[in-house]
Amino acid sequence: MEQTLSIIKPDAVAKGVIGKILDRFESNGLKIAAMKKVQLSRQDAEAFYAVHAARPFFNDLVDFMVSGPVVVSVLEGENAVLKNRDLMGATNPKEAAAGTIRADFAENIDANAVHGSDSLENAKNEIAFFFSGREIS
């Protein structure tokens, strides 16, 4: 059993597809072990994406992530990290396979509907960024 962090980004929340995206997780064997809707501050977004701080897209990424509320959840299941990434599809929705969340709901590489942890180690850090132990069950 693994846990991974998912963020439904401001574009998908604004579009009203929170439920449709959560259904992809639950229908594919990922249990929602914790969830909340939050408005990130600039400081939150900069800290969460600190690994990308030197990248040219960093400011646009932070601007976008604070542009509206997001839904953050802990997904749990067998191979949860990889399974979530498969369900999301490629970072750039133009390259995402048919039937993936990004192919179906994302606009472009910035407004790409969802974030998911890319390794088990990052998942642990990203989960701890948003949730305390008692919020996860």
In the residue annotation, 52 being an active-site residue is answered as: no
Q: Is 22 in the site for ligand CMP (CB under 6 A)?
A: no
> Which two three-digit tokens encode residue 113?
């509907």
Half-sphere exposure of 110 (CA within 13 A, CB side): 12
Nearer to ligand CMP, 37 or 52 (CB): 52
Helix, strand, or coil here: 117?
Answer: coil
Residues 79-98 touching ligand CMP, rule: CB under 6 A, are 91
CB 112 within 8 A of CB 92: yes
Of 109 and 136, the one with the shorter C-beta distance to ligand CMP is 109
Q: Is 109 in the site for ligand CMP (CB under 6 A)?
A: yes
* Residue 102 lies near ligand CMP (rule: CB under 6 A): no
Report the nearest approach of ligand CMP to the CB of residue 68 (Å). Answer: 15
Strands of the chain (E only): list them: 2-8, 31-38, 70-77, 114-116
d(CA 112, CA 93): 7
The amino acid at residue 70 is: V
According to CB under 6 A, which one of 77, 81, 115, 131 is a site residue for ligand CMP? 115
Of residues 36, 115, 46, the one with CA closest to residue 72? 36
**Given the complex with ligand CMP, which of 77 and 93 has the nearer CB atom?**
93
Asked if 129 is part of the footprint of ligand CMP (rule: CB under 6 A), the reply reads no
The residues that are catalytic are 115
Q: Could you list the residues that contact ligand CMP (CB under 6 A)?
A: 52, 57, 61, 91, 109-110, 112, 115
